[in-house]
Amino acid sequence: MSAFPAFQVIPAVDMQDGEVVQLVQGERGTEKTYGDPVDAARRWLDEGAEALHLVDLDGAFEGRRANGDAIDEVLETVDVPTQLGGGIRTADDAVDLLERGVDRVILGTAAVENPEIVAEISERHPDSVVVSLDAKDGEVVVEGWTEGAGISPVDAAERYEELGAAAILFTNVDVEGQLEGVATEPVRELVAATDIPVIASGGVATLEDVRALEDAGAAAVVVGSALYEGRFSLAEAQAAVSE
């Protein structure tokens, strides 16, 4: 998964208490539930997913992974590349997941608090670390989007590229989960500042949003609520960017 041969539309399987959920702006208490994670993973595979984005939301909020059984079941079920985030706080945590079958680990808070963890994991498993840069009002936020990190996404991306990150996952918290459209300028800025792929996330509501992120230079987009709410199908989104 070190490169994206073509723009990818990656369905999200966000897990909380063993169920698929989608949050509005990452806030607990705003969730809508969408059933069993394995069923969701199978559905996206059946619809042609080329990769899956898995998130342990309990892990993201509490700092320890809490949906391990559901994640293991998904990994046993799917045969496409997976990227997993949420509650990965140490290099050993990350390596354990990579050796259990996850293709890429997504580091957010851990990478902000200890940037060298990116190099440590990458040396053991090259091209395996995606650094998650979640931004609110132009500042990277951590701890489940509750605390500002005092650094801009562009400055952070440049730092992690030097440390060996395989890609940047950029989530615009200002528009996340609201189904009201995307903000492309922050994506363009990141793409211009780094040579590694930028995966965009947050706010996708229409096929035009998917196309706009491709036009902004993103290598892929993670889509959650829009797919679960039936705003468009995965096949429609893939067709929209392959025209």
* DSSP tally for the chain: helices H, then strands E: 11, 12
Which stretches of the chain are DSSP H helices?
Answer: 37-46, 57-62, 68-77, 91-100, 109-113, 116-124, 153-162, 185-193, 207-215, 225-228, 234-242
What the block records as the tokens of 186 is 């922050």
Q: Which residues are catalytic?
A: 14, 134
Euclidean distance between the first and the last CA atom of the chain, given in angstroms as a whole number: 23
Burial of 73 (0-12, 13-18, 19+ CB in 10 A): middle
Cα separation of 170 and 52, whole Å? 16
What the block records as the tokens of 238 is 């893939």
